[in-house]
Structure formats: C-alpha cells, structure tokens
Amino acid sequence: MSLLPKSKKARRRLLAVAVAAPIVAAAAGLSLYAMGDAAVFFYSPSDAQQKSVPPGKVVRIGGLVQPGSVKKLPDGRVEFAIADKAAVSPVSYQGDLPDLFREGQGVVAQGAFDRAGVFEAKEVLAKHDENYMPKEVADALKKSGEWNRAQ
Amino acid sequence: MIAELGAFALMLALALSGLQTALSVLAKVRRSASLRGGGEGAAAGAFLAVAVAFSALIYAFVTSDFSVANVAANSHTDKPLLYKVAGAWGSHEGSMLLWCLALTGFGAAVALAGRTLPAGLKALALASQGTLGLLFIGYTAFASNPFQRIADPPVEGRSLNPILQDPFLAIHPPFLYAGYVGFSVVFSFAVAALIEGRIDAAWARWVRPWTLAAWSLLTVGIVLGSFWAYYELGWGGWWFWDPVENASFMPWLVGAALLHSAIVTEKRGALAGWTVFLALAAFTFSMLGAFLVRSGVLTSVHAFAVDPTRGVLLLIILGVAAGAGFALFGWRAPKLPPGGLFAPVSREGALVLNNLFLAAAAATVALGTLYPLIRQAMTGEAISVGAPYFALTFGPLMVACLLLVPAGPLLAWKRGDVHAVVQRLWLAAALALACGALAWMVVHPRRLWAPMGLALGAWLILGALSEVAARVRLGAAPVAESLRRLKGLPRGSWGMTLAHLGLGVFVLGAVFEGSWKVEQVSVLAPGRSLQVGAYTLTLKDVRDVAGPNYEAERGLIAVRSRGGAVSEIAPERRFYPASRQTTSQVAIQRHGISDLYVVLGERRAAAGGGDGWLVRAYWNPWARLIFAGPLLMALGGLVSLSDRRLRLAVGARAARPVLAAGAAE
C-alpha cells in the first residue's frame, strides 16, 4: 500500500497507465512479430538469381512478361516467364490471369520458387494504372537500365 | 473560354481564401464584428469560386474539350454522360479540385451555419480553414492546374480507365473526399481552441456534429469503394489491406475514436487534451491519405492518377499543416485545465478503453502501410506487407475492442456498477454463445474460429438491443410505460444503437463470408456444367454483343438450384477499344443476403477439344451484410446528427454548465 501514490488523482493516473501499457505493448509486440513474418520481399528476376532465394520462401517477383512465353494449358494452368534485361524466371500459375495481363507488360507475381527454379505463383497482379506498370517493376527496370524499352 | 473562366475562378478562390484568413485574424485581434463578417463573406465567396471552377471543369469534360490537357488525358467522346462527369474527378488534377471544393464548402458551412459560435472561436476556426484553403488551392492552381491547355489538341481523348466506368465508383470519390475533408473543420476547431486556450464541454459540442458528418460520409465513401471492388475486380474480395484502402481506413478509425472521446469531453469535461489531439490527428491522417494515394509512393492494386514529382509538394503541405497543428498542441495543451475525475469502471473508463484500442489499431494499420516505404528509403529493399500482418495485429485488438462495446453504454457516468451491467447483459451473452454453438453444429464444413466470430457478431447485436431494453425498462415497467420511454429516446441514443447494430451486422457478414465462401473454377465448353454450393451452372452459349464504348462476349448461364428452380445469368467480358483494355462484368445473383457470383473468363481450349471459357463461380454467403453493416453505422451517424441537442444552431445552449448536461443524460 505504501508503494502507491497518496493522492487519489495520482493513483488513478497510475491505474490508467497500468491499463494502457499492456494494450500498447500488445499492439507493438504483435506488430513486430507479424512484421517479421508477413513482410514479403520483392525481387526482379536478376535479383532473385543473384541472391538465390531459397525454395519455398514466399516472395514477389516482378518484371515484364516475356513475349511469346505465355502457354495456357487445358487444365487451367498457365506458364509464362518474367524477364528483365539480365535474367528470366519461369512462372507457373493455376488460375485466371488478371484482365490486364499481357505479353510485354509489367507484372508482379507472388509465390515461391520450387526446387527446379520454377516460380509457383499463388497470385498474379497486374496493376491497372494509366501506364500499366507496377511501381516495383518500374523501379527494378530503371535499375537494370531497361526503362526506355519498357516505356 | 470556359476553361479560362475556371482557371480564373480558381485564382479568385485562392485570393478569397487569403482574404478569409487575413480578415478573420484581424477580426480576432481587433474584436471587430464587421471584419469578422468580411471573413465569413470571403469564406462563402471562396466556396462559390471553387464551385464555379469545378462546374467549368465538368463542362469541359461533358463537351469533350480536348484542348484541355486533363480532359484529353481522361475522357473520350464515346463515354456515357455519367462517366464524362465523373471523369472530372477521376484524374489527379480534378480530384484535387474536388478536395478544394469540399474544403471551401466546409469553410462556408462553418461561416454560415455556426451563427451561435463564440465570435473569437469562429474567427480563429475560419482563419485556420482559410489557411488550409490557401495551401490546397495554391497547390491545385500552381502545381496541378486542371485547366492547362495543350497547344495541339488531339482529335480524341485517352478515355477514363474502363474499370473506373462504374456508377458506384463515379460517386465514391465525392463521398470519400467529403469525409476526408470534413475532418478539416474539426482540425480548425482544434487549432482555434488551442489558440484560445479553452477547451470545454461547449467546444466538444460544436465539434461533435462535424465529426459525425465527416465520419458518416467517410463510411459511405469506403463502403462504395469496397462494394465496387467486390463486384468489379472479379474475385469477390471486398477488402485487401491495400495501402490505398488503408489510407482511407486510418482517418476512419481515428474519427471513430474522436466521436467517442468528444462525448466524454462534452458530457464530463474530461479528456480535453486527448480529444484535441485526435481532432488534429484525424485530418492529418486524411492529408496523409491524400499524399499516399496521389503521390504514387506506394504500390497499390487500385487505379488512381498519380504524380510522384508533385507528391513532394503534397508532403510539404502535410508537414506544414500537421506540424503547425501539433506544435501548437505541444505548446498549449499542457496549460489546458484538467478535466473531471472518474472511477476506472465507468462510462468514461469504457470510452477511454475504446479510444486506446481504436488508436492502437490505427497505429498498427499506419505501421503496416508506411513500413514498406520507410524500409525502402533506408535499405533500398522492396517489401510488401499484406493481409497476414493485419490479421495478426489489427484482428486481436479489434476483437478485444468489440467484446467491450455492449458494456460501455450500460455503465453509468463517473462510477459504474459492474453488477448491474452483468445483470442486464447476461441474457445477451448467453444467447450469443448459443448462436455460436448452433453455428458450430449446423454449418458445414465445421470450423473452429468462425462460430466464435459469429457469436461476437450476435453479442454486438444483442448487446445493442439489451441497451435499448434497459433504457425503456423493458420487463421492469408496464409495457405502456416502456413504449412511452421508447418514443422518448433521443435520436443520439438511436444513432448509437444503429451504429453498434451495424458493427454486429458487419461482423456476422465478414465472418460468414470469410469462412464459408465457396469457389469453383472450370473451363466450360457450351453445354457443360459446374457445381458451386447448392447450385449447378450450365454454360448455354457465349454471344458477341456491343455496348456504347465496348465490345463484349456475353455468357448465358443457366442456374439450377437444388430445389430445381432454374434461372439465367449473363456475365460479360468487355473489351474497350479506346484504351485497349479488357474488364469482366460479373454476374451477381442475390439470394437473400447471400450472393451467387459468376465471372466469365478468357477463351481457352476445353478438355474435350473445341472452344471453352474459363468460368469462375463463387458462393458468397451473407456477403450483403458486409456492406449493410457499415451503411447502418453511417445511418446511425446521420440519425445522431439530427438530434436536436446536436443541431448546429442549438450550439448556444451548450454554454450551460457541464453538470447540467450530464444530468440530462
């Protein structure tokens, strides 16, 4: 009892802190924990090759859909390749492609590489802004000096 | 000519905003009523001028004046009229003009409606609103002029992105912006009160209606956008934790916290500093949203007009406005008089908890949205933060918050009685648990968490009803007495009940749809079927049809229910030649509160040879509740707003002592 402040007001203030602290701490703790788990890294095909992304790790890769690479199989599976200037990543995807998916256009795929180095996409995103170019793709292409062709 | 008139009107609005600020400040310093009247007139004039500019832009869009760069980039002669009009705010420049229209509109509303406001407070609020006007109209006029001419006008425009050509999305930005910018009034009131050094119950009473209006409009705006995503993007999702969505959700969360803390400040005179802080934060998050969305610094799946170079300017405006507001707060807030005391278990205590949870939730959303940006700026690595992060952080905080919702309104001010609350809520709790148990037994496939989510939804609904029952003394008094009390309940109380009911309805929909949604994808040749939920879909035929500005393949699909009833739906796959873009027109068949949702995909080789079409079908059970819930919440806000005690003109009466207002409750 002697540890508690004497005035009623100070005691209430202490109580308010005692209630607020766990909520704030829980929010911060959960955020840090979830951030470590849920943050998905983005690679261009050449990045992915250089840094050798381990198979099974969920990442995003982005670049241009290589012209002539799109194969639609009767079982609904689609195979295509995402390319930048230096490297090509083969992609396999089960499902319907976004309406804006086109050969030669920017695309982002989320999924993981299998042991053979084929990217098993769970999600394919084609951003629908005026330039049809996802921002990460534009940045990655700028880095590899391919931006002008992409334009 | 009309475009030049628009550009001129915009400049006039800029000058009038400056005049509004100058006259209002002078009026405050000199205590002059005529100067104050001049400031109010300038506020009304600025609104009129922006309205003229905005009309001129709409005119340019409707008449397809392609010598205006903005029209050429965003419109097309073959677009239906509605989308020509909507094109006026579909672009970066146009949307900033819409922002200015809302900003000056709210300024004019304060000038004209706030007759009973204390003169000093009103003058300062108008000065602050005028300064915001200067910043944003200046930005629009000099850095993002929607009336820019091009020397060599094209014969045809580049058209509005076809995915945006949708009636719901056409009216989505006006609601969203009215909501975003509505918080500017609250921001200005906070600045004015900080300068005056007086934040009391009366101040909170003037702030609440504006907060309610802004928050309700923002709610409607978000629902419209969400409903659009649900049926337009073609995979039946209604919330993706996309940065652009989060940008609108953060001010919503802070606005919801502000709504509740302002009640404490109004009724009990407590939490004044915190309420002012939230008032500043709500509009700061609105500006942050505008910056995030308009600058293109974030990767989003949504379409919007962006311009990175001008993003820096928006960031500077955000820094100046928010920085000034919070600096003022840091300087003046410690001098605010302390508020009334209350016991931890009390209505105030419950509202403080609500605020803690909402603020923490808003902070986690902000972190998840901004972290990729910060990380990229610091390490150059691109990352994205998706739904799993938000499910893990926002989820638990919100569940804890929602669990407490029914108890709050039943606690008395100052010192609550837990025993009495338990007595009034045990039945609701028992029934909610029973609902969960029933769901666990009846709904297949069996899930562990979903029935608990349904129990939470039922708890919110039954809790809101229990509160009404307790207020009218249902069971404790004769029925006639209860009915009389029911009629006498103030609108503010009905508003709260509706909003909390809406929350429960939303939770039911989100949990049920999220847990028991069924998806089937198949390549169908004509004559073939697929099974989704209780329905068999047979592709009868695919025909080519022509729309006003598109060509389409229309699939005719027969739907046979388990009972044998047959109906037909026709999803389309549209191609817009003007922008060389394909979109899906989803066919949605509503069954009560659930949706059968069918998308016609691309043409593919069928398994048995010959042509087939990729058909995706979803059974989205209780999906309609997801949109009905928030609409109920917005309706609750409007009903509260119509409460006589909150009506803007009645503000004068609020000068009564705090305790009298508390006792009337």
pLDDT tens readout for residues B501-517 = 999 999 999 999 999 99
User: Could you give the dihedral angle defined by the CA atoms of residues B607, B608, B610 and B614, in that order, rounded to the nearest 10 degrees?
Assistant: -30
Task: Scan for tokens 């802080």, then name that residue.
Answer: B277
State the pLDDT at residue B306.
54
> Is A95's CB within 8 Å of B521's CB?
yes
Nearest CA in chain A to B297: A135
Ramachandran bin of B514, using left for φ above 0, alpha for ψ from -120 to 50, beta for the remaining angles: alpha
For helices B33-62 and B119-143, the axis angle rounded to 10 degrees is 30
State the pLDDT at residue A140.
60
CB of A12 less than 8 A from some CB of B: yes
**How near does any CA of chain B get to the CA of A28, in Å?**
8
User: b/e map of B59-86 (b: 16 or more CB within 10 Å)?
Assistant: bbbeebbbebbbbbbbbbebbeeebbbb
pLDDT tens across B553-565, in order?
999 999 999 888 8
Q: Given pLDDT bands bounded at 50, 70 and 90, which one contains residue B584?
A: confident
Nearest CA in chain B to A139: B382
Q: Given pLDDT bands bounded at 50, 70 and 90, which one contains residue B303?
A: very low
> Is A76's CB within 8 Å of B522's CB?
yes
Task: Give Cα separations from B373 to B48, B238, B244 (angstroms).
Answer: 39, 24, 13
Cis upstream peptide for B445 (omega within 30°) = yes
Asked if B70 and B152 count as a contact pair (C-beta separation under 8 A), the reply is no
Give the number of beta-carbon pairs within 8 Å between A and B: 133
Beta-bridged to residue B508, according to DSSP, are none
Question: What class does CATH assign to A41-150?
Answer: mainly beta
Paired tokens of A149? 């062709």
How far is residue B354's CA from residue A48's CA, in Å, rounded to a whole number? 45
Q: Given pLDDT bands bounded at 50, 70 and 90, which one contains residue B117?
A: confident
State the pLDDT at residue B659.
35
Overall average pLDDT of the B477-494 stretch: 89
Per domain, the residue ranges of chain A are: 1-39, 41-150
Whole-number average pLDDT of chain B: 88
Per domain, the residue ranges of chain B are: 1-165, 174-404, 407-516, 518-620
Overall average pLDDT of the B205-217 stretch: 94
Q: Is the four-CA dihedral B643, B644, B650, B653 of positive or negative sign?
A: negative
Least reliable range by pLDDT among B52-61, B113-122, B540-549: B113-122
> Is B392's CB within 8 Å of A38's CB?
yes
> Is A96's CB within 8 Å of B305's CB?
no
Overall average pLDDT of the B472-495 stretch: 88
State the pLDDT at residue B298.
61
Mutate to test the interface with B, among A31, A71, A80, A127 (most CBs of B within 10 A): A31
How far is residue B618's CA from residue B235's CA, in Å, rounded to a whole number? 9
State the pLDDT at residue B420.
87
How far is residue A108's CA from residue A84's CA, in Å, rounded to a whole number? 12
CB of A135 less than 8 A from some CB of B: yes
| Confidence check: pLDDT of A99 > 80 | no
Q: Using CB atoms, which residue from A30, A127, A130 is nearest to B393?
A: A30
Q: Kind and range of the H or E element at B131? A: helix B119-143
Q: Using CB atoms, which residue from A30, A60, A95 is nearest to B396?
A: A30
> Is B397's CB within 8 Å of A27's CB?
yes
Q: What is the CB-side half-sphere exposure of residue A105 using CA atoms within 13 A?
A: 22
Task: Report the alpha-carbon angle B304-B308-B313, nearest 5.
Answer: 110
Overall average pLDDT of the A65-87 stretch: 84
Ramachandran bin of B464, using left for φ above 0, alpha for ψ from -120 to 50, beta for the remaining angles: alpha
Residues in chain B: 665
Chain A 33-52, residues with CB within 8 Å of chain B CB atoms: 33-35, 37-42
> Is B372's CB within 8 Å of A39's CB?
yes
Overall average pLDDT of the B475-488 stretch: 88
Mutate to test the interface with A, among B74, B292, B393, B398 (most CBs of A within 10 A): B393
Q: Given pLDDT bands bounded at 50, 70 and 90, which one contains residue B653?
A: very low
**How near does any CA of chain A get to the CA of B615, in Å?**
9
**How near does any CA of chain B get to the CA of A126, in Å?**
8
Overall average pLDDT of the B337-347 stretch: 78
Reference B281, options B255, B263, B262; nearest CA is B255
Q: Given pLDDT bands bounded at 50, 70 and 90, which one contains residue A137?
A: low
Q: Kind and range of the H or E element at A80? A: strand A77-83
Q: Given pLDDT bands bounded at 50, 70 and 90, which one contains residue B290?
A: confident
Overall average pLDDT of the B476-491 stretch: 88
> Is A39's CB within 8 Å of B384's CB?
yes
Asked if A86 and A46 count as a contact pair (C-beta separation under 8 A), the reply is yes
State the pLDDT at residue B605.
76
Least reliable range by pLDDT among A54-58, B280-284, B382-386: B382-386
ipTM above 0.90, yes or no: no
> Is A100's CB within 8 Å of B581's CB?
yes
State the pLDDT at residue A147.
44
User: Could you give the dihedral angle defined by the CA atoms of residues B35, B37, B40 and B45, in that order, rounded to the nearest 10 degrees?
Assistant: -100
Least reliable range by pLDDT among B125-139, B286-300, B641-655: B641-655
Asked if B94 and B88 count as a contact pair (C-beta separation under 8 A), the reply is yes
Reference B228, options B174, B167, B177, B178; nearest CA is B167
